[in-house]
Each structure stands twice: as structure tokens, then as C-alpha cells.
Amino acid sequence: MVPVEAVAQAVEARDGNIFFISRDGSRKQLTMLGLDSQPNLWSDGNRVVFVRRTPDLKIETGVPGPRGECCQIDNELWIADVTGAKQPKRILRGHAGIYKIGPDLVLGDFNRHNSP
């Protein structure tokens, strides 16, 4: 019997896009707009949560953004299916904040707005 090295599922952001890496090491690109970052694999392993920049929606925070802009533009939280079969869906809109993925989605500093 030949030992097989186990590979964990993972997600990564590359050039503003989100990629899912399956246990067999294959990659699937989940987003293609070049506006996405901070991916986290949901605890069930079937979904990815990530932050999307919105250059057309600027929220004045009084603090320069990471790229020196006047306003915060990393301000939407999205969720994507790891199979890529469904379009990613926006779940929160507000200014950027800190979030943690666990048994429940925990959000901090996100202003909740209704999304269409």
C-alpha cells in the first residue's frame, strides 16, 4: 500500500479573484472581476465567504483606505458555492470590517444594508 498525502481544501485570492483548491489539488476560479479579497472557507466546506471592493460605492469613513483613497471601498461581503455552479451572492453591504468564519458567521464593523 502506497501512502497518500492528504491535501486540505483551501481558498485563495489571486489578482483580485477567488480560487477554491479541492482536496485533490485542483483549482476552480470562483470570481472573475478582479475586485475580491480575504476569502475564507465556510465551516461546511461547500461555500466561500469573501470581501469585494466596490470602486463605484465609496463610503466616507474619515480614514484613508489601504490604497490611499479618501473613502472605504472594500465594503461588501459575498458568498460563493465552491462548485462554481451558482453565481456568487452579495450577503452584506457596508463599510469594510473584521469578520471571522466559524460555526456561525461573526461580523464586526459591517454596517448592514438591504441588498437587492
Domain ranges of the chain: 10-108
Model pTM score:
0.70
Mean of pLDDT over the chain: 76
Residues 6+ away with beta carbon under 8 Å from 32: 17
11 CB burial (10 A radius; 0-12, 13-18, 19+):
buried
Average pLDDT over residues 109-113: 41
Chain-centroid distance of CA 6 in Å reads: 25
Higher pLDDT residue, 58 or 79?
79
Residues 113 and 63 sit within 8 Å (Cβ to Cβ): no
Name the band, by pLDDT with cuts 50, 70 and 90, for residue 116. Answer: very low
For 100, the grid coordinates are: 471571522
Task: Count the neighbouring beta carbons within 10 Å of the beta carbon of residue 19.
Answer: 18
Q: pLDDT tens-digit profile of 4-60?
A: 454 569 999 999 999 999 999 999 999 999 999 999 998 888 999 998 888 777 766
